[in-house]
């Protein structure tokens, strides 16, 4: 464990400014109608009939899975990539369903489609979750084609891809139902939060009914939220980020599996903070795009098919030669405060205490990704010098 005092880059960041906090507090006093307005703006931008704002991406997943299950009560398995965010199995298990895993295709962060085809034959399968990991678009169309006329839903996990596009289509709207996360370190953040989008009447109406009874944040929880936002808005800057990083109870940058999380409606404070979300997303995206292109300019390619322009990556993933190289890079990055992160530490079947996985194959490509992946920070708080320093450190270790 390296203790560094001095400029330290966070691995991902969507900064929150004083004016966001001010409009959040204004939203707090306006109440529920500000949340409705946020949902209406999203519906019109994404051209979908239903949008619901909740307390996290995980909460969004729980609601969606329960709604889908109401349509096909005999189906209880959820098929996800064997390498993904631990929040996904946390939510599936919280909702009472079984996790089914599909290995990844070599050199990508997307499904191995030959394996996917086999997995789709399970008669208990409720839905498949293609995932735009780190903002890299997954091939949702191909999943839909494979499913063809079967009664299996496509749930698009765009948690890390709000504002992203693929072939002129907006990510989040490609499946039967989609979700975004507004958590820390996502494409756009209100500290925590999740959004559900669907144009499917059946799914939309069930969600509408289920969400009608859901409580929002109480006053005390809202106050806690406001205090956390104020703290984060300062502590996320590279000149001070070393400080919260030294505090182990904050668990910064750690990935853990935890099916116990609150499920609420988004608060009016958060909806207020999200005011002018579209402009903010475009600004964050523009800053990331400069850094993504700079890194790509060094001849470094992220895993995945990159047809034409580089995607709106929120962290730039790189598969390095082997796990020794990965460890060496992470140690150097810690010492130098460069913000390089190791991605999720293992494939989903390797999570301690996960239980409940309905297909016990092995997932060698997902394991290999976990061993070799690093992610480079590209957010708006990176200076030109930060990118240069990082690439200088990486260059001798990436060329092999
Ligand atoms: C973050 C994330 C989630 C869950 O979102 P939270 O808002 O953190 O609950 C789900 N899927 C993926 C791929 C994520 O990165």
Residue range 106-164, pLDDT digits in tens = 999 999 999 999 999 999 999 999 999 999 999 999 999 999 888 999 999 999 999 99
Whether 312 and 14 have beta carbons less than 8 Å apart is answered as no
134-138, 271-275, 331-335, 396-400: segment of lowest average pLDDT: 396-400
Q: Answer whether 84 contacts ligand 1 (Cβ < 6 A).
A: yes
Predicted confidence (pLDDT) per residue in 2-20, tens digit: 788 899 999 999 899 999 9
Q: How far is the CA of 385 from the centre of ligand 1 (A)?
A: 30
**Which residue's alpha carbon is nearest to atom 4 within ligand 1?**
57
* Closest atom of ligand 1 to CA, residue 193: 7
What is the pLDDT at residue 360? Answer: 80
Q: Answer whether 157 contacts ligand 1 (Cβ < 6 A).
A: yes
* Closest atom of ligand 1 to CA, residue 60: 9
Predicted confidence (pLDDT) per residue in 347-395, tens digit: 999 998 888 788 888 999 999 999 999 999 999 999 999 999 999 999 9
Asked if the structure places residue 359 within a domain, the reply is: no
Asked if the structure places residue 221 within a domain, the reply is: no
Whether 95 and 59 have beta carbons less than 8 Å apart is answered as no
Asked if the structure places residue 357 within a domain, the reply is: no
Q: How far is the CA of 303 from the centre of ligand 1 (A)?
A: 20
What is the pLDDT at residue 369? Answer: 98
What is the pLDDT at residue 307? Answer: 55
Listed in order, strand segments (DSSP E) in 172-309 are: 177-181, 194-198
Asked if the structure places residue 249 within a domain, the reply is: no
Predicted confidence (pLDDT) per residue in 331-341, tens digit: 999 999 999 99
Q: Give the DSSP H/E element, type plus range, for residue 157.
A: strand 153-157
Q: How far is the CA of 87 from the centre of ligand 1 (A)?
A: 6
Q: What is the mean pLDDT of residues 284-307?
A: 89
**Which residue's alpha carbon is nearest to atom 2 within ligand 1?**
159
Task: Flag whether pLDDT at 306 surpasses 70.
Answer: no
* Closest atom of ligand 1 to CA, residue 56: 7
Q: What is the mean pLDDT of residues 309-316?
A: 89
Q: Answer whether 88 contacts ligand 1 (Cβ < 6 A).
A: yes
Asked if the structure places residue 366 within a domain, the reply is: no
Which of 56, 58, 254, 256 to mutate to test ligand 1, by most ligand atoms within 8 A of the CB atom?
A: 58
Q: How far is the CA of 109 from the centre of ligand 1 (A)?
A: 16
Global pTM exceeds 0.95: yes
What is the Rg, in whole angstroms, of the alpha carbon atoms belonging to the chain? 20
Asked if the structure places residue 185 within a domain, the reply is: yes
Q: Answer whether 159 contacts ligand 1 (Cβ < 6 A).
A: yes
Q: What is the CATH number of the domain that holds 140?
A: 3.40.640.10
Domain that holds residue 97: 18-211
Q: Answer whether 136 contacts ligand 1 (Cβ < 6 A).
A: no
Q: How many domains does the chain have?
A: 1
393 Cβ partners below 8 Å, 6+ apart? 329, 332, 333, 336, 338
3-state helix, strand, coil in the chain (%, to 5): 45, 15, 45
Task: Flag whether pLDDT at 170 surpasses 80.
Answer: yes
Which of 52, 88, 93 to mutate to test ligand 1, by most ligand atoms within 8 A of the CB atom?
A: 88
Q: Answer whether 57 contacts ligand 1 (Cβ < 6 A).
A: yes
What is the pLDDT at residue 248? Answer: 75
Instruction: Report the DSSP beta bridge partners of residue 170.
Output: 165
What is the pLDDT at residue 305? Answer: 64
Query: DSSP of 217-233, one letter per residue?
Result: --HHHHHHHHHHHHHHH
Asked if the structure places residue 285 within a domain, the reply is: no
Average pLDDT over the chain, rounded to whole?
94
Q: How far is the CA of 380 from the centre of ligand 1 (A)?
A: 20
Task: Flag whether pLDDT at 261 surpasses 90.
Answer: yes
What is the pLDDT at residue 308? Answer: 56
CA–CA gap between residue 192 and residue 13 (Å, rounded)? 13
User: At residue 101, what are phi and psi to the nearest 5 degrees?
Assistant: -110, 150
Q: Which residue has the higher pLDDT, 378 or 259?
A: 378
Predicted confidence (pLDDT) per residue in 277-293, tens digit: 999 999 999 999 999 99
| Angle of CA points 296, 301, 302, to nearest 5° | 110
Q: Answer whether 270 contacts ligand 1 (Cβ < 6 A).
A: no
Q: How far is the CA of 134 from the centre of ligand 1 (A)?
A: 11
Predicted confidence (pLDDT) per residue in 193-212, tens digit: 999 999 999 999 999 999 99
Tell me the pLDDT band of 1, cut-offs 50, 70 and 90: low
Q: Answer whether 130 contacts ligand 1 (Cβ < 6 A).
A: no
* Closest atom of ligand 1 to CA, residue 183: 7
Q: What is the mean pLDDT of residues 64-84?
A: 98
Q: How far is the CA of 56 from the centre of ligand 1 (A)?
A: 8
Q: How far is the CA of 60 from the centre of ligand 1 (A)?
A: 9
* Closest atom of ligand 1 to CA, residue 160: 15
Q: Answer whether 194 contacts ligand 1 (Cβ < 6 A).
A: yes
What is the pLDDT at residue 309? Answer: 66
User: What percent of the chain shows pLDDT beyond 90?
Assistant: 86
Asked if the structure places residue 109 within a domain, the reply is: yes
User: What percent of the chain shows pLDDT beyond 70?
Assistant: 97
Q: What is the mean pLDDT of residues 54-78?
A: 98
User: At residue 19, what are phi and psi to the nearest 5 degrees?
Assistant: -65, -30
């Amino acid at each position: 464990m390296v203790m560094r005092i001095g400029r330290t880059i966070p691995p991902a960041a969507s900064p929150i400014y004083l004016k966001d906090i001010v409009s959040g507090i204004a939203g707090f006093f306006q109440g529920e109608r500000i949340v409705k307005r946020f949902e209406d703006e999203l519906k019109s931008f994404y051209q979908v009939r239903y949008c619901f704002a909740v307390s996290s991406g995980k909460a969004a997943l729980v609601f969606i899975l329960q709604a889908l299950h109401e349509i096909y009560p005999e189906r209880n398995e959820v098929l996800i990539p064997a390498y993904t965010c631990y929040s996904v199995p946390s939510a599936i298990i919280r909702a009472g369903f079984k996790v089914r895993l599909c290995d990844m295709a070599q050199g990508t962060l997307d499904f191995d489609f030959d394996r996917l085809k086999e997995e789709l034959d399970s008669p208990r399968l409720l839905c498949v979750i293609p995932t735009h990991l780190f903002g890299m678009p997954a091939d949702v169309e191909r999943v839909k084609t494979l499913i063809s006329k079967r009664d299996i839903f496509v749930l698009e996990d765009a948690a890390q891809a709000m504002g992203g596009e693929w072939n002129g289509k907006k990510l989040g709207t490609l499946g039967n139902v989609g979700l975004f996360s507004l958590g820390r370190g996502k494409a756009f953040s209100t500290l925590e939060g999740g959004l559900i989008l669907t144009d499917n009447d059946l799914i939309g109406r069930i969600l509408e009914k289920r969400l009608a009874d859901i409580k929002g944040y109480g006053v005390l929880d809202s106050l806690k939220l406001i205090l956390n936002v104020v703290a984060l808005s300062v502590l996320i800057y590279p000149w001070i980020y070393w400080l919260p990083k030294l505090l182990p109870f904050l668990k910064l940058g750690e990935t853990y599996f935890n099916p116990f999380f609150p499920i609420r409606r988004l608060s009016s404070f958060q909806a207020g903070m999200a005011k002018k979300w579209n402009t903010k997303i475009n600004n964050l995206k523009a800053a990331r795009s400069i850094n993504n292109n700079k890194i790509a300019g060094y001849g470094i390619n992220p895993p995945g098919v990159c047809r034409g322009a580089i995607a709106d990556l929120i962290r730039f993933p790189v598969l390095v030669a082997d796990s020794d190289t990965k460890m060496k890079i992470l140690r150097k990055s810690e010492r130098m405060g460069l913000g390089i992160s190791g991605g999720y530490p293992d494939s989903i079947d390797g999570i301690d205490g996960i239980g409940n996985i309905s297909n016990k194959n092995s997932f060698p490509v997902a394991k290999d990704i976990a061993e070799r992946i690093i992610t480079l920070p590209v957010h708006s708080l990176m200076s030109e010098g930060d990118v240069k320093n990082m690439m200088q450190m990486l260059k001798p270790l990436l060329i092999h």
